[in-house]
Amino acid sequence: MRGPRSGSRTPEGSAPGYRVLNLLIDTNVLSEIRKGSRANPRLLSWLKTIDERSMFTSVLTMGEILKGVELLKHRDRRQYNVLSLWHQSLVRVFEDRLVPVTLEVSSLWARLQSIRTLPVIDGYLAATALTHGMSLVTRNTRDFKGTGVPLVNPFKHSAS
């Protein structure tokens, strides 16, 4: 995937000098966005400042979401159906902005784990962001401290 590696880009039709930083969106942010107008107001304010084309997510994040959906299959069929449709829509929306786990990412994950033990998926997200020169957008910034990954917490974004 070449998109994320570039780090930043100039969107078509933008003024010269306008740069977009590529952002790796964590599960907790996507889950909050799903709430629509009921989502955290700071997150909603932050989203208005972001070019959607700069937002990427990991295949692991999609797996985390699908795991949550599958856990509902036999407990709450209605919610399972609703969230299955949401997951399918995310796959379509992020179709060309899904970042895979590569050998380069997994090698960096191993180095990060040797320095500081992280939950497996969090470690892979940090390694993915670092490998592709991205900022990780998460509510969970504490979990990523010391990894060197640039962090954005849109839940602390000041509304303007």
What are the residue ranges spanned by the domains of the chain? 4-58+98-156
Q: Give the model's pLDDT for residue 9.
A: 41
What's residue 5's pLDDT? 42
Question: Facing residues of 9 across strands?
Answer: 20
Q: What is the DSSP letter of 73?
A: T
In the prediction, which pLDDT does 25 show?
98
Backbone φ, ψ for residue 131 (5° rounding): -60, -40
3-state secondary structure at position 10: coil
The tens digit of pLDDT for each residue in 88-101 reads 999 999 999 999 99
Task: Identify the helix (H) or strand (E) that includes residue 124.
Answer: helix 120-132
Of residues 56 and 17, more confidence is placed in 56
Q: Is CATH 3.40.50.1010 the right assignment for the domain spanning 4-58+98-156?
A: yes
| Mean per-residue pLDDT of the chain | 88
Average pLDDT over residues 101-114: 97
* pLDDT for res 158: 61
b (16+ CB within 10 A) / e for 125-142 = bbbbbbbbebbbbbbbbe
Tell me, what's the pLDDT at 15?
41
Percent above pLDDT 90 for the chain: 82
Taking residues 132-145, report their average pLDDT. Answer: 95
The string of DSSP letters for 96-112 reads: GGEEPP-HHHHHHHHHH
Q: What is the per-residue pLDDT for 21?
A: 66
> What pTM was estimated for this model as a whole?
0.85
pLDDT value at 6 more than 70: no
